[in-house]
Amino acid sequence: MTLNDELTEDAIAVRAEASDWRDAVRQAGALLTAVGVTTDEYTDEMVQTVEKLGPYIVLAPGIALAHSRPSPAVNRAGIAWLQLAEPVEFGHQTNDPVWLVVALAALDHDGHLGLMSALAAVLGDTDLLARLREADSPARVLELLTPTTP
């Protein structure tokens, strides 16, 4: 599985403006809702998760994985990609500020493992991340996430 197996252009926003981390998470959640992955309630749940547990979702320098527990607000597993024009602070000691919010929704605790594995491969590729940060369209994001065959 690759990220673009589940990611569509409609679930990607580039050069988005966010006033703070809540706004960034809400925008990422709105992308999930727009493509039918979740309802608006899931976006509220993602924000509440960070409010309760802190900025643990900032997994790597500049990158947050917005999510919440599986709930009735999730229609199907999926992801959204929000690249920010200007990074925002989440309150993480070492990985702030955040320029990319990936929103993840799953129907159960195991349903997202393939997506997480694919995301981990992207996060481990610093050259790819640099190119993704400069992507100027959803199509370019998908192009960069498409595996090349030798």
Query: Would you name the residues annotated as active-site residues?
Result: 67
Q: In angstroms, how far is the first alpha carbon of the chain from the final one?
A: 18
Structure tokens at 116: 């997480």
The C-alpha torsion from 98 through 101 and 102 to 104, rounded to 10°, is 110
Residue 107, classed as helix, strand or coil, is: coil
Structure tokens at 149: 């065959």
CA angle at 81 for the pair 80 and 85, rounded to the nearest 5°: 145
